[in-house]
């Protein structure tokens, strides 16, 4: 077992300085003072540090993405150490435009690889297109029989999408929710939003005309344009959760989008950050000419939360919800995004300047004093 002493804890609610006892990858106790026989327990002193739940990235390309300029523009698979370095102890992998060279079975294999290397990893079945790209034969079967599948991805309002109709989306949602009922999962349709004129119109039809429960509809890239974000605010006012991309696809700094949404009456509890990390992006010169490729950053979730806190317009408690409790609620992960007894022992430690210094995943110390000490098998 591991006993963490003197941790200033945000659960995300601030509960002050406590000790945390960890065993079997779970939080066993949280008390003002815990004493334990050193023969059976290791000690780790968190004095002077803020301790939060481990960060969740619910949209990241763990097997790589890109490819719109040929095979050489495809990004590589992500490394465990890169995730640990930015505090991402839980990730949800997904495919992008390409469901052929990047296969759904390869995505599952990478998900299981990251899990075995020490973090928590999940996935969405499907990809941009409406045609089947599943591990089994249907979305519903994937939801039921593949533990790691939390929902399905689809793209709308993008020239790379299949231009799905509301009826096609409803039938996908039906498979997700029924499969989720049987497998005891929440089940969400994770929807890539492009920049075409219809924006989120079809999603409002699903909720308002067909009365489909909004909690199963998860739009992402809502901050791609100002007009799209205005629609996203209306969607959140209906009770939906909106996902603001931090690594790419944004019209303004993500933390500024959060402030704008708050000014317009949206609860912090209805917003999440995700990185779209490891997506393929173009490098352009000053004349807009393509000169190379780059990967979308994976560390911006935490860094945007840090900037949000530095504005002093949002409390630490509320800001960290964007990458802890809120994505856990969106995904239906009951033991993630929180620090409480029986929750998974995923923790991030930050210094007085809110700089990430230490990371625990499943109760194991993965980064200490800003140095990643546990790496992937082939790093």
Identify the active-site residue in 276, 318, 344, 358.
Answer: 276
CA distance 344 to 6: 19
Report yes or no: 22 and 2 within 8 Å, Cβ to Cβ. Answer: yes
> What CA–CA distance (Å, rounded) separates 183 from 310?
41
Q: Is 115 helix (H, G, I), strand (E, B) or coil?
A: helix
What is the spatial distance between Cα 242 and Cα 260, in angstroms, rounded to a whole number?
Answer: 13
Percentages helix, strand, coil for the chain (3-state, rounded to 5) are 30, 30, 40
Q: Which residues of 197-211 are buried (b: 16+ CB within 10 A; e: fewer)?
A: eebbebbbebbeeee
Instruction: For helices 226-237 and 201-208, give the axis angle rounded to 10 degrees.
Output: 10
Is 276 annotated in the active site?
yes
Contact between residue 31 and residue 3 where contact means Cβ atoms under 8 Å apart: no
Residue 304, φ and ψ in degrees, nearest 5:
-70, -35
- Beta strands 88-93; 120-126: pairing state: parallel
Instruction: List residues with catalytic annotation.
Output: 276
């Amino acid at each position: 077992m591991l006993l963490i002493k003197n941790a200033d804890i945000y659960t995300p609610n601030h509960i002050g300085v406590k000790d945390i006892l960890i065993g079997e990858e779970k939080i066993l106790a949280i008390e003002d003072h815990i004493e334990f026989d050193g023969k059976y327990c290791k000690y780790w002193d968190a004095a002077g540090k803020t301790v939060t739940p481990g960060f969740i990235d619910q949209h990241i390309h763990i097997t790589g993405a890109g490819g719109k300029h040929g095979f050489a523009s495809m990004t590589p698979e992500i490394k465990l150490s890169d995730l640990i370095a930015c505090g991402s102890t839980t990730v949800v992998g997904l495919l992008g435009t390409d469901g052929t060279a990047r296969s759904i079975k390869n995505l599952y294999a990478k998900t299981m690889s990251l899990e075995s290397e020490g973090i928590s990893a999940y996935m969405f079945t499907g990809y941009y297109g409406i045609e089947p790209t599943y591990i089994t034969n249907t979305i519903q079967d994937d939801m039921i029989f593949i533990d790691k599948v939390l929902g399905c991805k689809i793209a709308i309002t993008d020239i790379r999408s299949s231009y799905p109709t509301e009826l096609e989306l409803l039938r996908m949602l039906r498979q997700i929710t029924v499969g989720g009922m049987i497998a005891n999962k929440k089940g969400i349709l994770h929807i890539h939003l492009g920049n075409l004129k219809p924006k989120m119109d079809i999603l409002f039809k699903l909720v308002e005309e067909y009365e489909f429960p909004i909690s199963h509809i998860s739009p992402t890239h809502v901050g791609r344009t100002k007009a799209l974000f205005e629609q996203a605010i209306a969607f959140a006012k209906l009770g939906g959760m909106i996902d603001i991309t931090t690594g790419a696809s944004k019209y303004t700094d993500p933390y500024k989008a959060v402030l704008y949404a708050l000014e317009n009456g949206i609860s912090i509890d209805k917003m999440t950050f995700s990185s779209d990390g490891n997506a393929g992006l173009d490098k352009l010169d000053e004349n807009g000419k393509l000169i190379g490729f780059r990967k979308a950053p994976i560390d911006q979730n935490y860094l945007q939360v840090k900037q949000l806190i530095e504005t002093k317009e949002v409390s630490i408690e509320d800001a960290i919800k964007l990458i802890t409790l809120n994505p856990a609620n969106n995904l239906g992960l009951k033991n993630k995004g929180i620090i409480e007894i029986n929750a998974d022992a995923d923790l991030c430690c930050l210094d007085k300047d809110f700089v990430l210094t230490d990371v625990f995943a499943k109760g194991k110390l993965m980064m200490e004093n800003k140095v990643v000490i546990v790496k992937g098998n082939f790093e």
